Amino acid sequence: MFIVKNAWRSVVRNKGRNILIVVIVAIIAAAATIGLSIRDAAQTARDEGLANTEVTATISLDRDKLISEAKQNGDSSSDSSNSGNGQPDFDAMRSALDQSSLSLADYQKYAKASSVNVTTYYSEETGVSATDNFQPVETSTSSNSSDSSSSATSSDSGDANGDQNQPGGQGGQGGPGGSMTQGDFTLTGFSSDKAIANARNGSFTMVDGKVFGYDSDSDGQAIISKSLAEFNNLSVGDTITVADPSDSSKTYTLTIVGIYKNSSSENTTASGPMGGTSQDAANAIYTSVSTLKSLGLDSDTTSSSDSSTSTQLNFTYVLGSKDDYETFSQDVKNAGLDDTYTVSSTDVEQYESSLVPLDNLAKFALTLLIIVLVVGAVVLIVINLFNIRERKYEVGVLTAIGVKKAKVAAQFAIELLIVTMIGIALGVAGGAAASVPVSNELLAQQISSQQSEAQSQQEQFGRSADMGGPNGGGQAPGSADSGSSSDSGNDSNESGDNAPGQPGGLAQATNYITTVNATVNFKVVAQMILIGLALTLFSALVGIISVIRYEPLQILADRS
């Protein structure tokens, strides 16, 4: 017991040296606390960010893979006949691409194959043409542009839609290579409210009437945009007639049950002249899949009937969390999904890219932590070693009067422990006060470096398209909240800012996580105390070894 008293006396006596150690330890502890809390917060953000947030996933075709496979097959099977002229086997590739279309039943099969809870929604999109008394909204009067678009160009636009223009988290390529939207209007059938909420043109509000139902009772009901209604002077209750784009004699009649207004119309006209009027958001007619089916325009019917009009199926899986998403991907693979398809999630991709600065910060924090701890350990050991060398005489006297070496060593360890614990307490307090502003400042630096990288890419390309830029945040339509999950806003501070923004336009917006909640919690304090204890004991060990080496006689003889 008296060694504790001695240790305390010794600490009080050597104020100068101990204050120096306290300051050093406090600085180390503060830096380590900040590092630890950043890592902790980053981990929390990563774990919790999508843990309870719905994640949407789609199955899409990996065209590169498919084409290269088709090429290989073509090369191996038709060496003699075809490869001589060096031309790629276009027909084989086209047929390969064509066969690869997944049907609605396929999609639903995979949903069933999942071991995790999965809900689905889908939409089917087809083109219809204007009739005399129902005209599309357009600036030029020539409404024939769509007709003149060859299959080649529409195929291009199909590609563009599939690859870049991932509409609001519901990608999917139901009609591979085929013409997706011909005609003057886009007639889209939705399977549920959720599907409408994630409509490609973004969210909308009803200005009149209400949205159609989804069962067969509501067949024939549709809603049209406000612009279209005004253009044709239509109101709720009126009927419209549209024609099959490939056969103008074939007409379909729909009843208007509601008129909607897009929340973000400015982004949705961006398809340029290629798309024709049907690409204009104003010319989108929304109805239920049931209606499409009753009209014979659903994807199964159109693909089997070999009609020139094909309907694109967008099938989306909704999963409870990111973990579920990963399980689902695996389950789908196990259920026999060809490996030319990939399961992807824009939510997850968005989230991953939003985490890049935070990950960098966490890496930086780890580096900081290691450096600080190594330097701290070295400094502590050196100080302790000098300290004990200086007190060799004391060791000699204490052992000479019969104090056991273990007790002397324990006294020194306790002294160091008292001092380092004071230092750690001060350092943790300082670190706790500084960690939130410091870590947010560091994160801001990471983000700006990330952004300037994007900036330089933009300069290189001379345009801002396709690069998830910082200004993309403005383009993310409100569907983020309603669509992905309404509880994303309830998430902790760090993930609140990154509710996966769903880009409505071309640019894929990345909302970086801009704040990190690096508050020092009990876990961090406990870790710090453990680290401090380990460091102290480690450096005390060095002292203990040098104490053990001393023989009292030798020390006293040296002295006299």
Contacts with another protein, residue ranges (CB under 8 A): 2, 5-6, 9, 13-14, 394, 396-404, 551-553, 556, 559-560
By beta-carbon proximity to another protein, the closer residue of 210 and 404 is: 404
DSSP 274-318: GG-GGGSGGGEEEEEHHHHHHTT-SHHHHHHTT-S---EEEEEEE
| Residue 24 C-beta: closest distance to another protein, Å | 22
By beta-carbon proximity to another protein, the closer residue of 19 and 530 is: 19
| Residue 416 C-beta: closest distance to another protein, Å | 17
- Sorted by sequence, the CB contacts under 8 Å of residue 500 that are 6+ apart come out as 53, 169, 346, 347, 350, 351, 354, 480, 484, 488
By beta-carbon proximity to another protein, the closer residue of 2 and 386 is: 2
Beta bridge partner(s), residue 128: 185
By beta-carbon proximity to another protein, the closer residue of 548 and 553 is: 553
By beta-carbon proximity to another protein, the closer residue of 363 and 559 is: 559
The Cα 452–Cα 376 span in angstroms is: 35
By beta-carbon proximity to another protein, the closer residue of 213 and 552 is: 552
- Sorted by sequence, the CB contacts under 8 Å of residue 279 that are 6+ apart come out as 157, 181, 186, 269, 271
Element (H, E) at 225: strand 221-225
By beta-carbon proximity to another protein, the closer residue of 273 and 402 is: 402
Burial class (CB in 10 A: 0-12, 13-18, 19+), 304: exposed
| Residue 396 C-beta: closest distance to another protein, Å | 7
By beta-carbon proximity to another protein, the closer residue of 5 and 549 is: 5
Burial class (CB in 10 A: 0-12, 13-18, 19+), 133: exposed
- Considering only CA atoms, give the Rg of the chain: 34
**Cα dist. 552→89, 165, 398, 542 in Å?**
92, 82, 8, 18
| Residue 423 C-beta: closest distance to another protein, Å | 22
Of residues 278, 282, 277, the one with CA closest to residue 265: 282
Q: Are 476 and 502 in contact (CB under 8 A)?
A: yes
| Residue 412 C-beta: closest distance to another protein, Å | 14
CA angle 4, 7, 10 (to 5 degrees): 150
| Residue 552 C-beta: closest distance to another protein, Å | 6
User: On the CB side of 317, how many CA atoms lie within 13 Å of its CA?
Assistant: 33
Q: Are 49 and 495 in contact (CB under 8 A)?
A: yes
| Residue 549 C-beta: closest distance to another protein, Å | 15
| Residue 557 C-beta: closest distance to another protein, Å | 8
By beta-carbon proximity to another protein, the closer residue of 94 and 407 is: 407
The Cα 354–Cα 512 span in angstroms is: 4
By beta-carbon proximity to another protein, the closer residue of 421 and 555 is: 555
By beta-carbon proximity to another protein, the closer residue of 78 and 554 is: 554
| Residue 14 C-beta: closest distance to another protein, Å | 8
The Cα 355–Cα 359 span in angstroms is: 6
By beta-carbon proximity to another protein, the closer residue of 245 and 543 is: 543
CA angle 252, 255, 258 (to 5 degrees): 135
Of residues 480, 474, 475, the one with CA closest to residue 506: 475
The Cα 533–Cα 72 span in angstroms is: 63
| Residue 34 C-beta: closest distance to another protein, Å | 37
Placement of tokens 């563009």 in the chain: 160
Give the long-range contacts of residues 373-376, CB within 8 A, separation 24 or more: 373/28, 373/32, 373/531, 373/535, 375/28, 376/24, 376/25, 376/28, 376/32, 376/535
The Cα 188–Cα 200 span in angstroms is: 10
| Residue 559 C-beta: closest distance to another protein, Å | 6
The Cα 256–Cα 238 span in angstroms is: 6
By beta-carbon proximity to another protein, the closer residue of 2 and 538 is: 2
